[in-house]
Each structure stands twice: as C-alpha cells, then as structure tokens.
Structure 1
Amino acid sequence: MFEQYLADALNKALGAYCDGIDGEKLRVSAWNGDVELRNVRLKKTALSTLRAPVTVDAGCVGSLRLKVPWMNLGREPVVVEIDRVFVLASRVTMEEAAATADETRDEEEDAAEKKKRIDEGERDWLRTAMGKMTKTMREEAERSDSWFWKTLNTVLGNLQITVQNVHVRYEDEITTPGHTFSCGMTIGKLSAITVDDFGEPTFVAGGSLERIHKRVALENFSMYLDSGAVYRPWKTHAGWTPPKVEDTEAWWALFGVGLVGEAPSDVRNYMLYPVTVELFYHRKGRKEQTEAGEPRQMCDLKFQDARMALSRNQYRSTVRLLEAFNQYRLRLPHAEFRPMVSVKAQPRAWWTYA
C-alpha cells in the first residue's frame, strides 16, 4: 500500500519540475525502497508556481536519493538526500509571461476538474462498498485504516532530510533597459532530523507528530546581487550555452562558487554573507503537564555573526525588480486582453482595453 502511494507521489511531484522522468523505473525503485535519480534536467516551467515573469534557462538536480526501509517501516527513519540543485533563471517579457500563465491556468483548471470527477466517483464507490460490508468487515477496515495513519505519522515524524549545494541565480536584462544585474541565493547544506531532549539524533516510535523535537541546520546560506561591468551575467558571454546535464564538472564550475566558503569580492557582491544557523524546535504532547502560562511550543535559534551590506546599486535594482513583479501580478488577470502594440500605434485598441 505504502509503495503505491510513494511511487505515485514521486512521479507526480518530480514530473512537474523535471524532464526525462521514467515513471515505470521510478515505480520499481520505490518498491525496492531505494530511489535514486542522477543528473536530471529541470523544465523551463519549473518556477511557474511563483506566478512571476521568470523562466528557467538552465537547471539540474545532480542527485536525489530516497531510502525507505520497507522491512522496518515505523522503526527506522525514511531518509531523503538531495545534492547539487542548480537553477539559472531570467526575466521574460509581459507577453511571454502572460502566455505561459494562460497555459498553466488552463492546465490547472483541467486538473482540478478531473480531480473533482475522480473524488466524486470514489465517494460513490465507497458509499456502495460500505453498504455491502458486514459489521465485522467494517471494523476490520477501520482497524487497518487506523494502523495506516499511525504508521504514516511515525514515518513523517521521523523523516530525515538533507539538501546540500543549492544555487539559484536570476539574471535580468529587461527590468531596467541598459542596466543588467544578477541576484541569487546559495545554501551549502540544509538538514532536518528528529532529536531527543539533549539534541542527539533519535527515532520516536509513537506520537512522533504530536510530541516533536526537531533540529534544523542551515549552513553557508547567502544572498547576493551583482550589477555593473565587473559582474557580467553569464548569458551575455559570447557563445554561452547551458552545460550538458551529465557534465557535472561544468555545472559545478558555474554554480559551485560560494557553496563551500565565501566567494571572492570580484565574482560575488554579497548582501548577506555566508552564515550558519541552527534551529531547535520543541512541541509538547497533549498529555504532557504544563504549568499556567508555560508554552507548549518553543524555538531555540543559534547563529554566528551575520554580516549584511546593501549598496546604492543593489537597493535600486531590488526596488525596481519588486516593482516590476508587482506590476506583473496586477496586469496578469487581464493580460490576454492587453494590446501587444504601443498606444501611439493602436490608440483605439488601447481605449477598448481600458
């Protein structure tokens, strides 16, 4: 039962963002308990859920691994490991963004309608099946369902996630004509694990989603914005083409700068210099005794000294970018009616649009 749920969920989630996903191989890997994907290219529409005028020019996931201990499910943690997520995005025109948004909206509406029909069919089938079941059969089904959700809660409560070497970069040559800039964020490593009262890794067999002890560590997280002649966008270099998805060295040469440590000032203009943060989250169970006024949820945040800087160019570029994105969101609902020519060329069309 779990295997089928896992295979379907992975196929749906990865298929929306990645190219070349073999659904059958993914299903077999899920049943074996060891799913591993290497050098997967991201789709150009991978960032469409942001509802922003951006497209993916180049992107890949170097490694994605999911280890599921089917023989000891509920007694050992499920482990998710993702390594080398590299994304190069850029700005698109309002017309291009609107066309993509229309396609996405149509697909979402079709998917919602299909889901509605499927849900209605399932409810009808369930009512019919329950009507034919005896009292004993219903009790057995309820016990099985209770076991399923209890096991699922244990699995989710002890899920171990590690994501490392992430670099998302955005290049813009449209927002301010004649002024190009690039901005991005890097993550050296992000991990989330279940811990005991002393902060040591552990496994909680029961009530793992009710009484939670989690440790989240974020290492070498940084944000930057490069502008000016010194920091040229990669796409403006003559003959630049995205690396082949299997060429791991070429991807690392482009995106690896700043992932291990602080990048030199001549290649990176930081707004937030690399910082390491550790978060401990504790939520008490419902049955735990608490004194009056004592919180049931507590967070303990620890981090090194954080260095931040914001130059005039960085501030201006950030403000213009936010204004452009906000303008896009305001125009998007009526973008399909907006004339594609200037007011001077077609004043009547613009009057009709207004």
Structure 2
Amino acid sequence: MFEGVVSQVLAGYLGRYVKGIQKDQLKIGIWNEEILLENVELILEAFDYLQLPFALKSGKVGKLSIKIPWKKLGWDPIIVVLEDVFICACQREESEWSSDSIDRRELAGKLAKLNAIELAKFSRRVSDNQTGQSFISYVSAKILDNIQVSIQNVHIIYIDSHEDQENFIFGLRFSTLTITTDTRKLVFSMSSIGRSRVGQVNKIVVISTVEFYCKRLEEHNFFSIDDLTESQLCCNLDHEREDYIINPFDVLVSVRANKSGMVDGGIPQYDITVELSDLVLSLNEIQLRQIFGLWDYFTICGLRKKYGRYRPSQSSLSKKVEGWQILWWHYAQQAILADVRQRLRRISWSNLGQRLNYRRRYIDLYRRKLELLQNEQVVSKDILQELEKMDKECDIDDILSYRSFAERQLQDLLLKSKSSTSGANNIMSSQEKNQNDEQSASRARRWLNWLSLGMLGAGGTADTSSFAGVVSDEIIKDV
C-alpha cells in the first residue's frame, strides 16, 4: 500500500517536470528499490512559475535515479542522483511578451507562492502538534531528514544573441553537488523521538569545481537560436582558460534550519555558513561589456513584464514603420495610465465594494472546500473553477487573509459542534452516572453485608447475636 502511495506521489511530481513518465514504470522501479530514468527531457513550461527574464530553450537529464531502501527505511538514506544535466536558455521572443503569456507566468508565480506559504503553514502546525509522537512519527522524520541528493556534471548556458552583432555564451558549470545530513549533529537515541519533529535539521551542501565563463559563439551563419544544431552547440561549449570569469572553485554550505518556524531562546530559524576556496575573478574588456549588456537586458525585461502588454507588437525601434511615433506614444501613455489607474483603483468605492463581495464569496467557497476535504469528499469543479478565477484577480495578501478567516470560521464551527455534542454527552453521562452510582452502591451494600455476615459477624455463620447486624446505609455512604 505504501509503495502505491509513493509511486502516485512521484508520478505526480516528476510528471510535471519530466516528459514521458509512466506510472507502471515507476511501480516496477519502486518494487526493485530503484527508479532509473535515462535521457529524459524537461518540460520547459513547468518552470513558468519562476518568472525568469529569459526563455528556456531545452533541458535534458542524462540519468535520474531514486533509491528507496524498503528493508531499512528510516535507517538507510533515500538517495536521489541526477547526472549529465544540461539546460540552455536564451532571450525571449516577441510572442512571449504578449499579454496572455505574461498573465500565464504571473498566475503560475502567484499560485507557487500561495502553495509555498500554505505548505509552510502546514509544516508549522505539524511541528507544533505534540500528539502522535510515536515510533512511526520518529521514523517518518528520520526518512525526510536522511534524504541525500547528488547532482553530477551540470552545465547551464545562456546564449546572448543580437542581430548584426557578435553572439556570446554565458556558462555555469559544476562537477558535483551533494546534499547530505550532518551526522555529527544527529542524536540517535530513542529519547529524540519527541524532539525529532520540533528539532533542527542540519544539512551539508558541497559543490565541487564551480566555474563561470563567457566566450564568443563561433557559429556566425545562423538567424536564430533554433538554427543551431546540437553538434554545433556542443562544439561551442569547449572553452579556454582565458574565457573564465570566475575560475573553478569549491563551495561548502552548512545549513541548520528550525523546522518549527519559531525563534525561541536566541536560536535562529536559519543558520547558514558558507566556505569558499580559491575564488579568483578575472575579466577582460569584452566580457565586462557583455555583462553590462546582459544586466541591461534583464532590467528591460523587468519593465516589459510590467508594461509589455501595452507595447506595439508589430513595431520595433530598430525597424521603424510608418506611423511608429504614434504607436510608441500610445505605448508610453498606456503604461503611465496603468500605474495611475492602479493607484486610484485601490481607494475607489467601487473597488472597495468589489473586494467586499469577493471576500464574502471567497471565504464561503474556501470554507466549503475545506469541509469537503475534511470529510474526505470530492470538491466540485464549480468551486475549484470559481476559486481559481478569484485567485487570478485578487492580490496574494487578500487571498491569504480570506483563507485564514475561512479556516478560523471552520475551527469555530468544529468547536461549537464539539461543545454541543459534549453537552449532550454530559446529560447522558450524568444519567448513566446516577444509574452507575446506584448500581455501585447496591454492589457495595451487598459486599459489605456479606462482609458483615461473614468475616465481621459470627464467625461466618448467620447468627447475628454477636454483631449488630448488617451494615447500615449511613455507614455504606460514609464508606
């Protein structure tokens, strides 16, 4: 049963980022204690939530391995290995700055932030909950704490291409990245069962042979990034020592995190120590100019993210068409008016009324969703679609306040139902208590009467002349 849950979780998580994930393949791999995927491609649209200022052209993983030691789960670590990771990025095309594309990336980023906040809230609640600190919870905490990640031979490149100019490649490469648990700070005694959930996590991150370089792209006869074949691209990945911006160096990061999220006794929530070895920076004039150009492009991308929906799609300043002055004047006008309208919208009465209506509706729908999930029932599509629609239109702060209020309402309803149930139970228990008292009194009377007639009476006979008789009711009550 646990293997089926793990396969479902892995299929859902990996299926969002890796193409061609088969559930049957995962089930077979889990039973063999190892899931092995080779030469898989990444789903580039899955990274829209990062809202990167550049586009991902391709992404490949040579080997993905997950080893789960079922026989010693909780004692031996779960090992995740990635090898030969290659990611290629480039400038975004004009079509990717359309209103629909920007809205899609903004929505993905907003939902990712909401999910991260909700996950952190859930983690704090689980850490603060002191119930259920059993051997199962201890083993579960050890399983999560003992996950080891190893990433080998990672190469990330960014192709900076311009029309009628030289093209350059920025590259980031490292040979290994390992994430392990700091065993020097672990407590293996059974007394740590209760503290494993509210304690600290100590991780060590080691990155070997990190290098950052910038070099000229040798292939001149292409019009776009898509014209570059894989063999031509691989030929340009070899670089000389003078291409380094930062010479190869090693990084050691020690992370100590407080899982409860509470800062007590002067203990920080996160304690990070970074050690660098042999960090050498070298730049020539061409590389410095390319870095400034790249920084300028990223700054412009930030502005296009905000105002790109008003930019003329069929016009460019490099290719001036007839009437380009009017188009760009309207672009500047719409960009300025967008900021003015947004400021006025926050203090307008119509927006206040709309927010109140949204607040009531969102709280009601979200509370109903939580009730259905708590009762293990299926949430209807209408509720999910309406919540998703309001998630698009509302700000993150408003959504978080709506959800918190809905959770408090649900908690109040549960407390009221428990109190009413406990009141009815108290009435029933009082009646049962009276009956039990009468039964216990009669049982005590029978026992004491037997005791008085036997051991305390006439030597175990029925003769009561040597004793005052059976124990009276007053004495029984006193007893």
3-state secondary structure, aligned to 1:232: coil
Correspondences of 1:80-159 after superposition (within 5 Å): 80-98=80-98, 100-105=101-106, 143=132, 149-159=137-147
Letter in 2 for 1:313: I
CA distance in 2, matches of 1:55, 1:103: 14
Q: 1:234 to 1:161 in 2, by over 3 A?
A: farther
Letter in 2 for 1:320: G
1:219 to 186, 193, 208: 208
Residue of structure 2 equivalent to 1:273: 247
Deviation at 1:282, TM superposition (A): 5.2
CA distance in 2, matches of 1:36, 1:88: 24
List runs of 5+ in structure 2 lacking aligned partners. 116-130, 334-479
Deviation at 1:82, TM superposition (A): 0.7
Q: 1:234 to 1:194 in 2, by over 3 A?
A: farther
Deviation at 1:111, TM superposition (A): 10
3-state secondary structure, aligned to 1:96: helix
Residue of structure 2 equivalent to 1:323: 296
Asked if the contact 2:51–2:106 (Cα under 8 Å) also holds between the matched residues in 1, the reply is no
Listed one character per residue, the Cα deviations across residues 80-125 of structure 1 (whole Å, up to 9, x for unaligned) are 1111101122212343344544444567789999x9xxxxxxxxxx
Asked if the contact 1:277–1:304 (Cα under 8 Å) also holds between the matched residues in 2, the reply is yes
Deviates more, 1:96-105 or 1:321-330: 96-105
Residue of structure 2 equivalent to 1:168: 156
3-state secondary structure, aligned to 1:60: strand
Residue of structure 2 equivalent to 1:120: none
Residue of structure 1 equivalent to 2:45: 45
Letter in 1 for 2:248: P
Higher RCO (CA < 8 A, seq sep 6+): 1
CA distance in 2, matches of 1:28, 1:103: 36
CA distance in 1, matches of 2:108, 2:251: 39
Structure 1 position 184 matched with structure 2 position 157: no
CA distance in 2, matches of 1:346, 1:252: 41
CA distance in 2, matches of 1:158, 1:322: 39
Correspondences of 1:289-300 after superposition (within 5 Å): none
Residue of structure 1 equivalent to 2:454: none
CA distance in 2, matches of 1:159, 1:350: 54
CA distance in 1, matches of 2:178, 2:95: 40
Deviation at 1:52, TM superposition (A): 2.9
Structure 1 position 264 matched with structure 2 position 252: no
Letter in 2 for 1:277: V
Residue of structure 1 equivalent to 2:323: 345
CA distance in 1, matches of 2:33, 2:166: 50
Residue of structure 1 equivalent to 2:414: none
List runs of 5+ in structure 1 lacking aligned partners. 116-141, 244-249, 258-262
Deviates more, 1:22-31 or 1:81-90: 22-31
Structure 1 position 194 matched with structure 2 position 173: no
3-state secondary structure, aligned to 1:185: strand
CA distance in 1, matches of 2:7, 2:89: 29
3-state secondary structure, aligned to 1:165: strand
Asked if the contact 1:51–1:329 (Cα under 8 Å) also holds between the matched residues in 2, the reply is no
Larger Rg: 2
Letter in 1 for 2:61: V
Residue of structure 2 equivalent to 1:128: none
CA distance in 2, matches of 1:103, 1:284: 34
Residue of structure 1 equivalent to 2:376: none
3-state secondary structure, aligned to 1:197: helix
CA distance in 1, matches of 2:325, 2:93: 21
3-state secondary structure, aligned to 2:12: helix
Deviation at 1:280, TM superposition (A): 3.7
CA distance in 1, matches of 2:25, 2:40: 14
Q: 1:308 to 1:106 in 2, by over 3 A?
A: closer
Residue of structure 2 equivalent to 1:241: 229
3-state secondary structure, aligned to 1:85: strand
Listed one character per residue, the Cα deviations across residues 39-78 of structure 1 (whole Å, up to 9, x for unaligned) are 0022343553432343333331000111112232222211
Residue of structure 1 equivalent to 2:7: 7
Correspondences of 1:195-210 after superposition (within 5 Å): 195-197=182-184, 206=192, 207=195, 210=199
Deviation at 1:180, TM superposition (A): 1.6
Structure having the higher strand fraction is 1
Residue of structure 2 equivalent to 1:232: 218
Deviation at 1:183, TM superposition (A): 0.2
Residue of structure 1 equivalent to 2:59: 59
CA distance in 1, matches of 2:328, 2:259: 61
CA distance in 1, matches of 2:208, 2:111: 41
Q: 1:108 to 1:306 in 2, by over 3 A?
A: closer
Q: 1:158 to 1:240 in 2, by over 3 A?
A: same
3-state secondary structure, aligned to 2:17: coil
Residue of structure 2 equivalent to 1:133: none
Q: 1:324 to 1:294 in 2, by over 3 A?
A: closer
Identity %: 25
CA distance in 2, matches of 1:318, 1:190: 26
Q: 1:180 to 1:152 in 2, by over 3 A?
A: same
Deviates more, 1:340-349 or 1:211-220: 340-349
Q: 1:38 to 1:251 in 2, by over 3 A?
A: farther
Asked if the contact 2:55–2:92 (Cα under 8 Å) also holds between the matched residues in 1, the reply is yes
Deviation at 1:269, TM superposition (A): 0.8
Deviation at 1:79, TM superposition (A): 0.8
TM-score, scaled to structure 2:
0.52
